[in-house]
Amino acid sequence: MIPAIPPIKGAPTPVSPATSSSGAGSSGGSTFSQTVGHLIDQLQQMDTAANTAEVKAAAGQGNVADAMIAATKASLATQVTVALTEKAVLAFTEIVNMQI
């Protein structure tokens, strides 16, 4: 059997529907906005960590490889966020344009 791949340290935690829902539709909007806000905060923290690692590496106090890894993680997280945002806007536009 093939062993499972271990999780990446510092990566955003996945959000499952079971943990993000707190009731039977009564607070669905606030839960969604809290989840999105939390994920945006994680993205911002990754970007800040990458910037800090880059400054340390440039000053000779940090490892260049660690700075490159942090920058790549932040870049990938930003790309995923942009792609998801575009999909959400497209879905919203399709819903708005539906004829009843």
Q: 2-60: per-residue pLDDT in tens?
A: 787 777 676 666 655 544 444 444 444 568 778 888 889 999 999 999 999 999 999 99
pLDDT of residue 24: 45
In a domain, 48, yes or no: yes
Residue 24 inside a domain? The answer is no
**44: part of which helix (H) or strand (E)?**
helix 28-58
Whether 23 maps to a domain, the answer reads: no
Split into its structural domains, the chain has a count of: 1
Quick one: pLDDT at residue 96? 92
User: Could you tell me if residue 67 is inside a domain?
Assistant: yes
Euclidean distance between CA atoms 31 and 89, whole angstroms? 19
Element housing 62 (H / E): none
Question: Which residues are within 8 A (CB) of 11 and not within 5 positions of it... i.e. 6 or more apart?
Answer: 73
Domain presence at residue 88: yes
Distance separating alpha carbons of residues 79 and 38, to the nearest angstrom:
17
The domain containing residue 67 runs over which residues? 37-96
In a domain, 31, yes or no: no
- Is residue 15 in some structural domain? no
Question: What three-state secondary structure class fits 39?
Answer: helix
Question: Comparing 28-37, 44-53, 76-85, 90-99, which segment has the lowest mean pLDDT?
Answer: 28-37
